[in-house]
Amino acid sequence: ENELKCCVSGSFSKFKPEIDLTIEEFEDLGVRILSPDKGWLYVPKPYVLKLTDKWRPLPSERKMTLRQIEDSFLRGISNSHFLYVLNLEGYLGISVSMEIGFAVAKEVPIFSREKVIEEPDLGSPSEEFWRDAIANIKVATPSEVVKSFRSKPEAGMI
């Protein structure tokens, strides 16, 4: 199969519209996005969203638990050629940090829109692992990522 596949990770509460635009950018470049779906976050009626509510599912995730949603995303990373992190102003949340760690463990290349500047307080000995992990994240636009994969046909990607 010659189709390039990826997952796009980022803070839904801060950057969901920007994540959707990034997904569209990759789709325009012929990349299949395994996760997440584009679209609005689902808020059941007559539920009133409180400012303290951090997690809201996408419409396709309505009947799933938070664990099922995250497991599905991690399966997507496992089946991806790369993980793309949308980290405007360098921001990473806890879930995104965990997804980066998972991609590192699965040896899935990681790219980000901007340099990672916020490090979660993971404490020792994870601190050294985290520093190494973020040091290996390549900063690139979607088109630069795709170009790098397509310029390496020996890697069997495209």
**Region of poorest pLDDT, from 7-11, 35-39, 40-44:** 40-44
pLDDT(158) > 50 = no
Look up tokens 């899935």; give the residue.
108
pLDDT in tens, 67-85: 787 888 899 999 999 999 9
Dihedral of alpha carbons 57, 23, 31, 116, sign: negative
Using alpha carbons, select from 113, 158, 104 the residue that is nearest to residue 136.
104
26 φψ region: left (φ > 0), alpha (ψ -120 to 50), beta (else): alpha
pLDDT in tens, 86-132: 998 888 888 888 899 999 999 999 999 998 875 555 555 567 777 78
The confidence score (pLDDT) of residue 74 equals 92
CA angle 98, 35, 141 (to 5 degrees): 80
Give the span between the Cα atoms of 45 and 62, in whole angstroms: 12
CA angle 102, 137, 3 (to 5 degrees): 70
Q: Which amino acid is at 70?
A: E
pLDDT(29) > 60 = yes
